[in-house]
Structure 1
Amino acid sequence: MPHRQSLAAAAAGILLTAGIGATVPAGATAVPTRTTAPPATAQVVNARWGGHPTFDRLVIDVRGTMPQVTVTPVKALHYDGSGGKVPLAGKYFLEIRLSPAAAHNESGQSVYKGPRLIRIDLPALKGVALTGDFEGVVTVGAAFHAEPFHKAFVLHSPERLVIDVAHPAAVCRG
């Protein structure tokens, strides 16, 4: 008899070790730790803006981990690929590049829900355009009538790039 008990105990141990003994009770459901996995490459999904008493704010929403960002003053905005001039009125422009990033998913469908080209009538910000989504780089352009004194920073949960641009009168007041 003692031999049978030790065999039964050994078999139970093997089954538990193999995970066969770990069953989920009837009616129970597994709870996922995450509903969807973040994309392998950051996805630019929206651009939005707002006016404040002394500055205008441009926000670029990102799904996934925030990629490297550069904000560069340029003389004009051009579409990536074609090189065509972006038809936004302004004397000053900022080119915002996010890389590695995409505004489309792995199937090639756009995930970007923001404006492709829009005129804006805020004290500083005069227009925004999605100017590129090519080879892992997403480019957004912003137009201004006065030189844009700006500050760019990243906020988390959800991921977003924020660019605050001082109103021209606020810059003059010092």
Structure 2
Amino acid sequence: MNSRQRIAAGAAAGAFLIAGTVASAPATASVPSHATASPPPIALVVNARTGVHPTFDRIVIDVKGKLPPTTVRRVKELRYDGSGAKVPLRGKYFLEIKLSPAAAHNEAGQSVYKGPRLVKLNMPEVKGLALTGDFEGVVTFGVAFKERPCYKTFTLHRPERFVLDIRH
């Protein structure tokens, strides 16, 4: 390739780059309103309560807003989110309940959760309940048991609630 051909090829490449830059420049058309709308409000966990029934113990977690996906899993021990410190509840078996996306505080960082943070219980099955985390869009509870729990979960609406029933 001679120098004249190199100059022509360079000019063509430069024109191509300029055209690509112009083509990728942002358009001046308006952005659809759904693209700038704020995300939906996060569910707020406001309370947790317990009750004893003739054949089961019940834990209810009250939520303001849309009930988020909730998982329950067996764990070997209970630890506080963030610090990793052991939760001081006695038991041989434990369940961890996670609600996400959710928070137990408002946008100003103030707690909206009015339930127990740590409570030792003497119910037939449930021996303790603790709020173990409110961190990065996840609210976590821990439940302690003396015996391996047999449980079922379900949701109730108006108001929004997550329910955990533990058979006696």
Shift of 1:111: 0.2
CA distance in 2, matches of 1:94, 1:161: 15
Note if 1:111 corresponds to 2:94.
no
How many residues were matched structurally? 129
Look up the equivalent residue of 1:113 and give its one-letter code: K
User: Which position in structure 2 is the counterpart of 1:68?
Assistant: 69
User: Which position in structure 2 is the counterpart of 1:120?
Assistant: 121
User: Which position in structure 2 is the counterpart of 1:161?
Assistant: 162
User: Which position in structure 1 is the counterpart of 2:87?
Assistant: 86
CA distance in 2, matches of 1:120, 1:157: 28
Shift of 1:62: 0.3
Gaps of 5+ in 2: 1-39
User: Which position in structure 1 is the counterpart of 2:5?
Assistant: none
Note if 1:135 corresponds to 2:136.
yes
Shift of 1:153: 0.5
Shift of 1:91: 0.3
Look up the equivalent residue of 1:52 and give its one-letter code: H
Look up the equivalent residue of 1:98 and give its one-letter code: L
User: What stretches of structure 1 move > 6 A for 4+ residues in a row?
Assistant: none
Deviations 1:103-155 (A, max 9, x none): 00011000000000000110001100000000000000110000010001000
Is the partner of 1:44 in helix, strand or coil?
strand
Shift of 1:54: 0.9
Gaps of 5+ in 1: 1-38, 168-174
Shift of 1:163: 0.2
Fraction of identical pairs, as percent: 68
CA distance in 2, matches of 1:115, 1:43: 15
User: Which position in structure 2 is the counterpart of 1:98?
Assistant: 99
CA distance in 2, matches of 1:143, 1:91: 7
Shift of 1:40: 0.3
- Pairs within 5 Å for 1:29-48: 40-48=41-49
Q: TM-score, normalised by structure 2?
A: 0.76
CA distance in 2, matches of 1:67, 1:59: 14
Deviations 1:13-63 (A, max 9, x none): xxxxxxxxxxxxxxxxxxxxxxxxxx8000000000100111000000000
Look up the equivalent residue of 1:116 and give its one-letter code: R
User: Which position in structure 1 is the counterpart of 2:57?
Assistant: 56
Deviations 1:65-112 (A, max 9, x none): 000100001110000000010000000000000000000001100000
Look up the equivalent residue of 1:158 and give its one-letter code: P
User: Which position in structure 2 is the counterpart of 1:18?
Assistant: none
Look up the equivalent residue of 2:115 and give its one-letter code: G
Q: TM-score, normalised by structure 1?
A: 0.73
Look up the equivalent residue of 1:61 and give its one-letter code: D
CA distance in 1, matches of 2:154, 2:166: 12
